[in-house]
Structures are given as structure tokens and as C-alpha cells.
Chains A and B, each alone.
Chain A
Amino acid sequence: MLSQQILNGLVSGSVYALFSLGFTLIFGVQKLLNFAHGATFMAGAFIAYYCTISGLPFLLAIGFSMLATGLIAILIDLIAFRTLRNRGNAEFPALVSSIGVDLILVSIAQQVSKTQVLNFPFGTFPIKFYDLFGLRISLLQIVILAVVAVLVAALIFYLRKTTFGRQVRAVATNERAAALLGVNAQSVYLQTFFIAGALAGLAGVLIGLLFNSIQFLMGEPYMLRAFVVVVIGGLGSVQGAIVASLLLGVTQSLAVAYLPSGLTDAIIFGLLFLVLLVRPNGLFGDINAVAGGTRQ
């Protein structure tokens, strides 16, 4: 059972990674906690669901959902963050503002779904199971692991090896200095939000598909996990978010399997405190890991 539980944990953790990457990316660049990220994740699942039942091929539904959640995230930036950011000292007001956006999106989803739990129609994705080295793994789990690995690699490449990545890191380090060097900070923010939203949307679709459940509150437990991930991984650190997500997924899986019920959250937050005691800035230390320096 141990190896099966580790596999379960890695699959869950890989989706946490997809979710947390966008969250940590926004924090890394803007130093803002975007509480509406969970609602964006939920919106991704809802949009893909309604596209699918409307007859759109599932792959197109995923693509449309990612595009839509990317645009929703941009809208969130424009409505909830931009004005506050321009005024300076935006951290606390932006936090409240993002909670407001989250509540609005959740309320809309509740109205749209009439508070019902939705699920993708049977057969949306082939249900196939394989026995590999004594492990029971589904085709969907394999696809999820592969998709997450490819997307994470692409994101890291994008952030480290492209002009956009350099601009992101420049803005994250010092927005004013970056602007003086010709970087359009607003454009960086919009692109960052789009990427974060699209990743959250995809995570929502994958979770909805993997666990057969789409509902208006589905973002809440993932938000809680995302906080743990970004703190354990190191605030703003992409690599940290990935490692912490996988660690969290496996820890959660093993806690459910081997410890008395109800201790899972205590173990997860215990792990959080332990990491903070040993490495106060998280596993990947630097307070501004996306930028590679401290924001000024």
C-alpha cells in the first residue's frame, strides 16, 4: 500500500503544484496574496464542464477554459489590484479586494450551478487502469503527471530563458528600476496574471476530472493548501512551490493512510511549522526567488 499511497500523493501534489505555481508567481512578482486564485481555479472547472456538456470536444473545452480563466485573472488584476497598486502600500487593501472578488465569483458559480455538485459526463476521459510494478495507475493519472511535468518545465524555461522571464524578474526586484530600463511593468503584471489564471483553470479542470466533482466551493481547500505550499517552498519560489506541492501531496496521502483520522491537517501544518523553524524563509529560502533578489 505504501508505494500506491506515494503515487496517489504525487498525483495530488502535481495538481497542487499547478495551482500553487500561479499563486506563488503573483506573490513573487507583486507581493500580493491573491485570495481569488481559488475562485479562478473553480471557474476553470465550471467553464470546461459547461463547454463539454454543450458538445465542445474535451480538449477544446480545456483550451477554452484556460483562455477564459487567464482573462478572468487579468480582469481581477485590472479591477481589484491595479488601482491599489498604483496608490502604493497595496498589500492589505489588495488582500481584502481579492477576497471580495473571490466571494463574487463563488456566488456566481453557486447561482449558475444551483448549489449542485457537477461532474464531467461519464466517458469524457477514457477510464483505463494499468498495473505497473504492483501499482494501480489510471490513464488519467499518467496524463496528469505528464501534463504537469511539461507545463512546469515550460514555465521554468519561460521565466529563466526568455525576455519575458527577465522582465518578470526585473519587475519583481524593482519595478521603478525596471521601468527606467524600458520594461512595461503593467504588461508584465497582465501576463503574469494570465499565466497564473490559465494554470489555475487547468488545475481546476484536472481536479474536476480526476476526482469527479465540480462545485462552487472547490477552491477553498486548495487555497489553504496553496498557502502551505508557498510558505514551505519559500515565498515566491517556483522551484520551492513544486517541491513543496509534491511533499504536501505525499504527506497528506500517507497521513490519511497511516494515522488516525482527523490528524491530516495537523500533520500538514505541523510540517509547515517545522520547516519554518529550520528554514524561516522556506525550503528554497530566498524571499524573492522569482526575481533572484529582494524587491525594492
Chain B
Amino acid sequence: MKFKTLMLSATSAAAVTLAGVAAHAEDYKVVILQSLTGGAAFIGKNVADGAVLAAEELNEKGFFGEGNQMVFSVEDDATDRTQTLSLITRLAADEDVLMVMGPTSGSVAMAGANVANEREFPVMTTTNSMEVVENGPWSFIMTQPASITMPFIADYTAETLGLERCAIIGVKDNEAYVALQRMYESLITEAGVEIVSQDGVALADSDFSALATKIATSDQDCVFIGTPAAQGANIILQLKQAGLDPSTPILGHNAFASPTFIEKGGAAVEDVYLIGAWVPGGDDDFSSAFAESFEAKMGFPADEWNAMGYSGMQVVAHAVRDAAEAGNLTRDGVRQALGEQKDIPVVVGTHTYSYDEERVPYFGMKVLQVKDGAFTVAPE
């Protein structure tokens, strides 16, 4: 009897202790809202995959403190404004949701920013459009605006390579890509480079035979291609097949910094210049570990957007934890903490991520070149 009483007391004590821990454990609810389908799925799905991996790892290593965890779910904005408005409105009505990582890009991100600012609900959109930031204090951008990234490749075009006449091929149906292309055009024109042709392709296009023939038979000393990696590789293949002078330098922006670019382009993309926030395979311990764990989980190597998603989630996690530690775990607390993030370790750029006073993100870039089937830092 005495033994039974003792056991009961011990069990009760354990239960009380566990209940105490449970009472103090916090769930930080964040929703990853990205374009898993539709035209921007090439960005959104990859960002979501990176972000999910980051959240899982952070929970696993107890980043939020003992017993605490980030509870996340993944939703699809479907690259559709109506669906985005509906989802953000619904999520804003759920008081447990602290913030949204998304939506992805273009008019969808802008629509998301509108409703987020109306509802005072923090969103970190994937886009690099400053319009989202200017829309109000509740909407953030995850990627660096073109004014930060494009000078790296524009300076390389005009000053390092000393090129004078460029043909430009861009994407015509994605605002983020258009912004990057416009910025590049503006910067190289200011630097005295003549733009001999400008052509736009749609994200779903694959027939570039006419465009390739046009450029291969034109007079230019460089070709800039501002498209996603696989499409860019395909354009370069078709340019080479159309007879483009093999010595003509080809340049691209950070979307090319993906293993897909080399895999799809093969020998045709050798010597191409690009900028990259992500060096495939990683270039320090943190990024190399990410590359390894991502490939182990997904079965294919990480690209720039996977790395951005992973990095963006690091920033979100730090903001949530800072707000919790400051005793202000509210949407406003998370918003303030997000805007104050400085030097957060990430796997992209120069490996630290910061927002400035205007909530503009900075994490740096590198000029890369494809050499022997791998990305290497381009010669200065």
C-alpha cells in the first residue's frame, strides 16, 4: 500500500512537472506562402523547399529554446492574386499566426503587401520589388533589389571585361526579372555600353530558334540573358547551335547560379559570367552543410532559390526568437524585430543578412564564371 502511494505520488509529481514544461512551451506559428503552382512556381516551390528544411533544422537543434518550436505550414499562392488575397485575409484572421513568409513575386507579392498592411500582419515576400517595402511597414522583401545586385555584373561587363555592344534577352512576363534587366540596361548604358537589341521571352517558352538566329547573325560583343537557369541554359544552347561566335562573352544574373544551369547547358554554358548569392555546393561551413543536407533530403542539389528560402527562414526565425525574448511575441513585435535584424548567418552572399533603416535587405553578391563544368569566382 505504502509502495502504491509512493508510486502515485511520484507519478503525480512527474505529471505536474511535465505539465509545467508544457505550459511554458511555446509554438511560434509561421506560414510559408509561396507559388507552388502557376507561373512563379519555379521560384516559389524552391523557396518553400529551402524554408521548410531550415525550419525543420532549427526546431531539431532547439533554436527557439527548450520545449519551444516553430509550427509552420506551407500554402500555395498559385501565382494568383485572388488566391493570395483570400489566403492572407484568412491567415490574418487566425490570431495564432505570427507572420507569413511570402507570397512569391510580382503582382501577387504586391497584392499580398496591400492586404498585409491593411490588416497589420507581417509578410516577408520573396520579391525584390521596392514597391512592396514602400507599400507600408508590415511588408518586407527577402531578396536584394536590383539596385544592389545588378551593379556587380554591370560593372563587370563595362569595366572588367571592357565590352561595348550588348544584345539583351530578358523575361517579359515576370516583374522581378524585368526589374533586373532594366537595371542592368540602365547601368551599362550609363557606363557607355551600347544596347544593340532587346528581346523578351515568356517563362514557358522553349523555342528560341528565331531569336538565336537573329542574335547569331548580328554584330555584338556580348549577350546578356536575364532568365531562369534552365531557360537560360536552353537559350545559350540554341544560340551556339545557331552559330553564335564562341568567343562572344555571355552574361547573366543570379538566377543562373544553379546546378541546373550547368546540368542543362553542358559544354555550351562554359565561360558564362553570372552573379550569384549562392555558390552551388557552398563556400563556407554553413552553406556547405546546407548544400549537403538539402541534397540528402530532396535528391537534387540546391539552387539559388532553395538557398534564399533557407536563408530567409533563418532571418524569420531570428526575428521570432528576438520578439519572444523581448517579451513582445505579437505580430507587431515580430515586425519590429524583423526590421532590426543585422548580420544574421545565412548561406547566401557574404554569409550575413541585414535589413537597413529603410528595411532594404543586404547580403552581398559575387561575380562567378562557369569553368570546367563548375561555378568559380570570376577573375577580377
A interface list, Cβ under 8 A from B: 1, 4-5, 8-9, 11-12, 107, 110, 114-117, 119, 122, 127, 129, 136, 138, 207, 210-213, 215, 217-218, 220-221, 252-254, 256-257, 261-262
Contacts and interface: CB of A to CB of B under 8 A. Distances in A.
Contacts of A129: 241
A116 B300 contact: yes
Given A116-B260, A220-B204, A257 B241 contact: no
A107 B37 contact: yes
Given A12-B209, A115-B41, A117-B264, A262 B204 contact: no
B204 A218 contact: yes
A9 to B, nearest CB: 7
Nearest to B205: A221
A221 B238 CA distance: 19
A215 B207 contact: no
B136 interface: no
A261 B214 contact: no
Interface in B284-324: 298, 300
A107 B78 CA distance: 11
Interface in B93-137: none
A87 B238 CA distance: 49
Contact of A119 (B198, B264, B298): B264
B234 A211 contact: yes
Contacts of A114: 45, 298, 300
Contacts of A218: 204, 206
A122 B234 CA distance: 12
Contacts of A136: 242-243
Given A5-B213, A217-B204, A115 B241 contact: no
Given A122-B266, A261-B199, A262-B172, A217 B39 contact: yes
Contacts of B241: 127, 129, 138
B214 A257 contact: yes
Contact of A207 (B207, B210, B213): B207
A254 B213 CA distance: 11
A117 B231 contact: yes
A212 B210 contact: no
17 contacts: A5-B213, A8-B210, A8-B213, A107-B37, A116-B260, A117-B228, A119-B264, A127-B241, A136-B242, A211-B234, A215-B204, A218-B206, A221-B202, A253-B209, A257-B210, A261-B197, A262-B172
